[in-house]
Each structure stands twice: as C-alpha cells, then as structure tokens.
Amino acid sequence: MSKRSCLILIAALAASPVAAHVSLETKQAIIGASYKAVFTVPHGCAGSPTVKIRVQIPEGVIAVKPMPKAGWIIDLVEGKYAGEYDYHGNKLSSGVKEVAWSGGKLPDKNYDEFIMHTVLTDRLKPNTTLYFPVVQECETGVSRWIEIPTEGAGHSHEGKSPAPGVKLLPKP
Amino acid sequence: MRLLAALATLLFAVGFASGALAHAALISVEPASGSTLATAPEVVELRFNEPVTPGAIRLIDGAGRVRDDPRVSASGETISVAMPADLPEGTAVVSYRVVSQDGHPVVGSVMFSVGTPSETKPPASADHWLGALIWLARVGLYLGLFVGVGGVWFARWISRSLTGTTVPRAALAVGLPSAVVSLGALGLDLLGLPPAALATAAPWKVAVATSAGRAFLVAAAAMLFALLALRSAWSSRALAIIAMVGVGLSLAMSGHAATAPPQMIMRAAMFLHGLCVALWIGALAPLAALLSKPTPATLAVVSRFSGIATPAVGVLALTGLVLAIVQLEKASALVETRYGLILSIKLALVLLLLALAALNRFRLTPAFARDRGAQVILKRSILLECVIALAIFAVVAGWRFTPPPRTIVPETPLAIHIHSDKAMFQVLVSPGNVGKDDFVLQLMTGEGTPLAAKEVTLTLSLPERGIEPMERDASLGPDGYWHVRKVELPFAGRWRIRIEALVSDFEKVSLADEVEVPPP
C-alpha cells in the first residue's frame, strides 16, 4: 500500500466515529476541482423526524447544484460572494449561498443523504478544513450542526454538534 | 493495485461512517428537574429516546454528600435510580453519564428539592452546642490572656512579689485548655464535623491552617511563657514581657478588627488594645489580694499601678475608638446591627469600669494613702471591677458570631467578563452564592457594540463535584439583556460556565469561563 492510501486509511478511520452527527460522506477533497458533497443524516432531533435540511455554502465554493430528491422541494438562496471567481472563463461574483431541502419527512429510524455538486475554487487554503454549517429542522426541535472549532483549539475538545467538514488537499 | 487499496479503504470508511447511529437524548425525567417535592421520591427515572447503558450515575444529596447507595437499574430507554431511604431535605443532584448505542457517552445533570431547596435551610454550622463551646472557650481564653498573663506581668513588674497570684494562676489553668478547645472547635466548625472527630487529625490541621488557629497557638504560647515567668529565675521578668507581647500578637493576628484595612494601623491598634487590657485587668486580682493583707509596701505598689494604669487606660480608649470607627463605619450601626449592640453593651460596661477606676484612682487611692482603713472600700471597688471585666469578656466573646458592619455589604453579584476576538460577554450572577441564582447576560461584539442573537443558552457544570453540564435557555428581556432566572447552584466551587449565542441560523458564538461560587 502506498503512503498516500495509508494516509487516507488513517484519515478515514479517524473520521469514522463522528457517525452520529450530520456529516459529509467524503472527508477529503482537492481544491480547484469539483466536489460531490453528500450530507449524511443519521437520525432526527432527539427522536423527532427530520422535515428540513438547510446547508450554508461557505465562501470559495461555487457552481452549487443540488441533486433533486423525491418527496423534497429544493430552495436556493442566492447572494453576492465576497470575492470574484473564475469559472470556465466566466467571472462569478454571485451564486448560491444556501441550499434547503424541505417538504419531506425523514423518520428518526431511517437514514438518508442529501447531495449537491460543488466546485472548490483554488482560492481556498489547502490543508485546512472547509465547513458546511447545517441546520436540521425536525417536527419538534432543531439540531444545528454549526460548530466550527476555533483555530488552535485542538481536536480533544470536540463540540457537541460540529459542522460537517471536508479536508482540503492541495492540487496534485 | 494502489488504486484498489485506496478504493478499499474509502469503502471501509464509508461503511463505518454511514451507519444510522445516533447519540441518545434525554426526553423526560420523573420527578421533573428543578421541581420541589414534599417528600423524597423513591426513584428518579431518566427516559431517553433510545436504549442506553448506564455509565457513572452519581447522587449528591441535600446535605452535599456524595452518596454511594443509589441503586441504578436500566431497562431499555429508562434508567431508574432508586433513592436511599434517608435522603435528607434540600436540593439533590443526579448526575448521569450514559452510553448511547453508538458508544458515545451522553452526560447531564438533573436536580430536585425535597422539602425546601437547600439555600433556605439554616446553615449546617448552626449547632448550638458548638456555638456555646466556642463562646465559653473564648471567655476562658480571655481570662487566661488578660487575667492570667496580665496578672503575672503585674506580679513581676509592679508588685515584684508573687503575693496574690492565685487568681492569675487559676486563670492560666483555665486559659490554656481553652486555647486548645478553641482550636479544636474552630476545626469542627470549619469542617462541620461532630465532636467525636476531634480524635482525628482533620479538624486540627484545618484549624492550624487558619490565622485564627495560629492566633490560638500564639495565645497558648503566651500563657506558657507566663507560667514559666512564675518560677523565680533571673529571666522571669523577661519571660513576663514576652508573654505580654504574645497577648498583643495573638489578638493582632486574627479576627475581624485586626484584618480590617488599613491593616498596619488596625493590627497595631489591636496589639496595643490587647496589651493595655492585660495591663489593667490583670492587675485587678493581685491588687485586691494585696489589699486584703496590706503591708507597708502595698501603698507603693498601688501608686506604681496608678502611675501606669492611667496612660494604659488612655491608650485603651484611643485604640478602642479607632477600632470601633473602622468597624462600625457609622454611629447608627451601634444600635442597628448585632455587632454594634455588643459594642454598645461593652461600651456601657467599660464606662462603668472607667468610673470605678477613676474613683479608685482619684478618691480611694489617696484615701488609702491617708488612712489604711480605706482599703476595704478600695478592695471592694476592685472586686467589682473584676466582675465587670469578666462581663466584658463574656460580651466581647459574642463578637465571634457577628460580622462587623464594615463587612456587611449588600449582596454583591458575581461578575464575569468573558472575552474573545469575536465577542465579549458580561455575566452577572446574583446573589452569586449557593442556592437559586439569576443570571444576566450582556452580549457584545468584539468591538463592544451590542450583539444581536436569536437564541442564547447557558450551560453550567461543576467537574470537581462530578456535576455534568446542565443546560438552560436564556430569554431576552425588555432591557436588551438575556436572562436565566432561578438557576439552582447546589454547591460552592469552581463552576464552569459556557454561553452559546446563536447569531444567525448558521453561526454560533460560544464563550466559556469558570466562576468561583462561594460557600453560603
């Protein structure tokens, strides 16, 4: 096994205990490339079924296209980006800032995935973690997967409801 | 091959990550957290949204003791904690750590009160026998210091004979054990232990670690020096001086008065005050004894004493005035506070004593000088002085139980300021001690402008007592501050406080700090 796949194994194993949280299925992505963000929703809010999933698109992520999902309505919130990004020769200064799936009902005992296509611009910093804050709304209650660890805080103090994150790798 | 390996690991990871595992969540508690019950519940039931395995379940009862006898049983989603039969009144805390199906620990605390919540009960240290013992030992200690040591000093420096030292000897015999009893009782009072615990080292160790405990030791040493000074040796006069200095020191080392600011002045005043009390009061018993069998030398002794007593009384009055002014702060406290009332009674007795002293000094001593027959009246007057002095000791020993008005401040809330780049939170906890507290949270941005939040939660935990985090939602008041009312803080200690403010749907600012909650 190469050094690279060894690292991937370690990273994957290290990442797996966060299974109880809403998280991203693919834990690593290369900047300057497209990224299929799969949000896994393992449970409702303290037993209550999930009725809405809202995902905030972080700065530097463009060309967001959510995948339609039977029984769910997709709403997009568009707005201005902080910067201007080059996408296939076009200058993009605004786009999708938030994606919401609603209208469905995901019982607590079921598992589901919410998927969107994105492009990670090369303006993002390699070797950092990019967070997609998620608000999970349920019939009763809300779970906010929005905690972003402060830099230098270390991993030992994991928050109660961390935002799903993806490790950014430099362009090969 | 490399690709295959990478693919395999990814699949492996995905297989791990996608299991529909969840943390357990507490759904309900019976009896409800924060409730007040007439009688102790037989069982506390914690219901979760999924089956859980009990980890550490701790019960801390209303008396603040960690109990090792709650029986914990789990069946599916419910954990039952059977309460011991002898659960005392007060606020009890059940702190739980359970393991959810996915192996993650879930922690939290629930609390309920039996009878009345803990803070409305009288403090546990209100044991009457202990209070009486502390008071009695204090009176005994004053006797030993002032009558005993003062009497020995009088015998060595004024009368220059051991005639009339029976009373000082007896006072020392009372004072020495009183110092030991004071030390032990202080330890019991500090730890809230029964008298049987005096056989153990704990109360003594605790007592010696305090300034009051060390003051008792110095007092005991002073009395020992006085005993040594009774033996006729070349050094007896020096030993008497050392003993007197010890009296002043022991009083200046500890207590409300000596520790009040400005300390330099207060400690010096207390030292001189104690020294002069010993000079004056210590002389009374030997004087009375000398007067009952007057010799030609007696007149010289009485004159010598008068010569030194007058300046001593002057210093006594002056230092007393300084101490009283600092302690009382305003004259009305003389009648409005218990401390002031004790001082008022003491002052009345002191005035009586001064009147008698003046009578002795200006009428009876000259009369005695002219006519030896006047000795009977002088002796009676001195005996009356002794009685009044004893009454003053008894009254003053009561100060042990009353804080001076200087230290009675309106309940000041605890203030905590938590600061990060993103935000500044100002937290006020009132009254800021054990019991029910109100929290006021003022949220500001890092630049000091108000921080608008959608939701604010307050999380408290006390790791040192095993109290797992308790979460309370704050509500926005019309004053623009966030309030959490009637938060039960059942124990003193270093509480961890965490405030999370939801700034937008996707952004939360959270700051944490620790706050020392003082004991009641």
Domain carrying residue A110: 20-149+160-165
Asked if B507 and A133 count as a contact pair (C-beta separation under 8 A), the reply is: yes
The reported pLDDT for the residue numbered B405 is: 66
Query: Nearest residue on chain A to B510, judged by CA atoms?
Result: A147
Which residues of chain B have a CB within 8 Å of the CB of A12?
A: 9-10, 12-13, 16-17
The reported pLDDT for the residue numbered B244 is: 92
Q: Do B9 and A5 touch (CB under 8 A)?
A: yes
CA-to-CA separations, B375 to B148, B357, B395, B484, in angstroms, rounded: 24, 15, 30, 75
My answer on whether B144 and B102 are in the same domain is no
Nearest to A5 among B2, B27, B507 (CB): B2
Which residues of chain B have a CB within 8 Å of the CB of A133?
A: 506-507
Shortest CA gap B112–chain A (Å): 23
Average pLDDT, chain A: 85
Within a domain: A13:
no
The reported pLDDT for the residue numbered B511 is: 86
**Which of A22-26, B22-26, B85-89 is predicted least confidently?**
B22-26
Determine how many CB atoms are found less than 10 A away from the CB of residue B65: 10
Residue A90 has pLDDT above 80, yes or no: yes
| DSSP strand pairing (B90-99 vs B78-82) | unpaired
Q: What is the pLDDT of residues B61-103, one digit of tens each?
A: 777 777 777 788 888 888 888 888 777 777 788 888 777 766 6
The reported pLDDT for the residue numbered B408 is: 54
CA-to-CA separations, A111 to A39, A42, B23, in angstroms, rounded: 11, 5, 14
Alpha helices in B231-295 (DSSP H): 236-253, 255-258, 263-292
The reported pLDDT for the residue numbered A59 is: 93
How far is it, in rounded angstroms, from Cα B197 to Cα B187?
9
Within a domain: B62:
yes
Q: What is the pLDDT of residues A154-164, one digit of tens each?
A: 444 456 788 99
- Using the Cβ of B421 and the Cβ atoms of chain A, whether some distance falls under 8 Å is answered with no
Within a domain: A172:
no
Q: What is the pLDDT of residues B457-495, one digit of tens each?
A: 999 988 887 788 888 889 988 878 898 888 888 888 888
Which residues of chain B have a CB within 8 Å of the CB of A146?
A: 505-508
Q: How many domains is chain B partitioned into structurally?
A: 3
Name which of A55, A110, A142, A160 to mutate to probe chain B: the one with the most chain B Cβ atoms within 10 A of its Cβ: A160
My answer on whether B28 and B103 are in the same domain is yes
B292-307 CB burial, b ≥16 within 10 A, e <16: eebeeebeebbebbee
Asked if B73 and B80 count as a contact pair (C-beta separation under 8 A), the reply is: yes
How far is it, in rounded angstroms, from Cα B251 to Cα A131?
65
Within a domain: B217:
yes
Average pLDDT, chain B: 80
Within a domain: B15:
no
Comparing B421 with B3, the larger pLDDT belongs to: B421
Residue B44 has pLDDT above 70, yes or no: yes
Q: Do B18 and A111 touch (CB under 8 A)?
A: yes
Residue A112 has pLDDT above 50, yes or no: yes
CATH code at B32?
A: 2.60.40.1220
Q: Which one of B354, B386, B407 terminates a domain?
A: B407
Q: What is the pLDDT of residues B361-378, one digit of tens each?
A: 777 777 777 776 677 777
Name which of A2, A3, A5 to mutate to probe chain B: the one with the most chain B Cβ atoms within 10 A of its Cβ: A5
- Residues 6 or more apart whose CB falls under 8 angstroms from that of B152 comprise B165, B168, B172, B226, B227, B229, B230, B240, B243, B282
How far is it, in rounded angstroms, from Cα B216 to Cα B250?
7
Within a domain: A8:
no
| DSSP strand pairing (B26-30 vs B66-67) | unpaired
Within a domain: B165:
yes
Q: What is the mean pLDDT of residues B170-198?
A: 83
Name which of B506, B508, B511 to mutate to probe chain A: the one with the most chain A Cβ atoms within 10 A of its Cβ: B506
Q: Do B49 and A46 touch (CB under 8 A)?
A: yes
- Residues 6 or more apart whose CB falls under 8 angstroms from that of B235 comprise none
Which residues 37-76 of B have a C-beta within 8 angstroms of A? 49-50
Q: pLDDT-derived band of residue B117, with 50, 70 and 90 as boundaries?
A: low
Q: Do A20 and B507 touch (CB under 8 A)?
A: no
- The encoded tokens of residue A3 equal 């050094």
My answer on whether B370 and B487 are in the same domain is no
| DSSP strand pairing (A90-106 vs A112-120) | unpaired
Shortest CA gap B451–chain A (Å): 18
Of A125-139, B104-118, B126-140, which has the strongest mean pLDDT? A125-139
Within a domain: B10:
no
Q: pLDDT-derived band of residue A17, with 50, 70 and 90 as boundaries?
A: very low
Phi-psi region of B159 (alpha: psi -120 to 50; beta: other; left: phi over 0): alpha
Within a domain: A1:
no
Residue A117 has pLDDT above 70, yes or no: yes
Q: pLDDT-derived band of residue A95, with 50, 70 and 90 as boundaries?
A: very high
Within a domain: A66:
yes
Q: What is the mean pLDDT of residues A21-27?
A: 91
B437 SS3 class: strand
- Using the Cβ of B12 and the Cβ atoms of chain A, whether some distance falls under 8 Å is answered with yes
CA-to-CA separations, B179 to B136, B150, B182, B212, B267, in angstroms, rounded: 11, 16, 5, 11, 21
My answer on whether B388 and B430 are in the same domain is no
> What are φ and ψ of residue B260, in 5° steps?
-80, 145
List, in sequence order, every beta strand (DSSP E) within A11-120: 23-24, 28-30, 33-41, 50-56, 61-66, 73-87, 90-106, 112-120
- pTM exceeding 0.90: no
Query: Nearest residue on chain B to A146, judged by CA atoms?
Result: B506
Q: What is the pLDDT of residues A36-82, one digit of tens each?
A: 999 999 989 888 999 999 999 999 999 999 999 999 999 999 999 99
Q: pLDDT-derived band of residue B503, with 50, 70 and 90 as boundaries?
A: confident
Within a domain: B123:
no
My answer on whether B114 and B136 are in the same domain is no
My answer on whether B344 and B232 are in the same domain is yes
How is residue B164 annotated by DSSP?
T
Query: Nearest residue on chain B to A12, judged by CA atoms?
Result: B13
Q: What is the DSSP string of B4-19?
A: HHHHHHHHHHHHHHTS
A64 SS3 class: strand
Within a domain: A170:
no
CATH code at A38?
A: 2.60.40.2230
The reported pLDDT for the residue numbered A69 is: 93
Query: Nearest residue on chain B to A147, judged by CA atoms?
Result: B508
Q: Is the peptide bond before B262 cis (omega within 30 degrees of 0)?
A: yes
Q: What is the pLDDT of residues B204-228, one digit of tens each?
A: 877 787 777 888 999 999 999 998 8
Which residues of chain A have a CB within 8 Å of the CB of B454?
A: none
Query: Nearest residue on chain B to A25, judged by CA atoms?
Result: B14
Comparing B384 with B294, the larger pLDDT belongs to: B384
List, in sequence order, every beta strand (DSSP E) within B5-104: 26-30, 36-37, 43-48, 53-60, 66-67, 71-75, 78-82, 90-99
Q: Which residue has tokens 């791990």?
A: B16
Comparing A51 with B290, the larger pLDDT belongs to: A51
Query: Nearest residue on chain A to B511, judged by CA atoms?
Result: A150
Query: Nearest residue on chain B to A17, judged by CA atoms?
Result: B17
Domain carrying residue B61: 23-118
The reported pLDDT for the residue numbered B8 is: 47
Q: Do B14 and A56 touch (CB under 8 A)?
A: no
- Using the Cβ of B19 and the Cβ atoms of chain A, whether some distance falls under 8 Å is answered with yes
Within a domain: B333:
yes
- The encoded tokens of residue B209 equal 């670690």
My answer on whether B168 and B269 are in the same domain is yes
Q: Do A19 and B19 touch (CB under 8 A)?
A: yes
Q: Which one of B362, B381, B407 terminates a domain?
A: B407
Q: pLDDT-derived band of residue A28, with 50, 70 and 90 as boundaries?
A: very high
Side-chain-side CA neighbours of residue B253 (13 Å): 18
Comparing B259 with A164, the larger pLDDT belongs to: A164
My answer on whether B182 and B203 are in the same domain is yes
Asked if B94 and B108 count as a contact pair (C-beta separation under 8 A), the reply is: no
Q: What is the pLDDT of residues B395-443, one digit of tens each?
A: 888 877 776 666 554 555 677 888 887 888 888 887 777 778 888 888 8
My answer on whether B395 and B509 are in the same domain is no
Which residues of chain B have a CB within 8 Å of the CB of A23?
A: 17
How far is it, in rounded angstroms, from Cα B193 to Cα B125?
9
Residue B72, strand partner residues: B81
B424 SS3 class: strand
Which residues of chain B have a CB within 8 Å of the CB of A109?
A: 20
The reported pLDDT for the residue numbered B309 is: 84
- Using the Cβ of B510 and the Cβ atoms of chain A, whether some distance falls under 8 Å is answered with yes
Query: What percentage of chain B exceeds 70 in pLDDT?
Result: 87
My answer on whether B401 and B418 are in the same domain is no
| DSSP strand pairing (A165-169 vs A28-30) | parallel
- Using the Cβ of B406 and the Cβ atoms of chain A, whether some distance falls under 8 Å is answered with no
My answer on whether B300 and B163 are in the same domain is yes
Asked if A65 and A152 count as a contact pair (C-beta separation under 8 A), the reply is: no
Nearest to A15 among B17, B49, B510 (CB): B17
My answer on whether B382 and B440 are in the same domain is no
Which residues of chain A have a CB within 8 Å of the CB of B102?
A: 19-20
How far is it, in rounded angstroms, from Cα B488 to Cα B113?
10
Q: How many domains is chain A partitioned into structurally?
A: 1
Q: Which one of B407, B430, B458 terminates a domain?
A: B407
Shortest CA gap B477–chain A (Å): 23
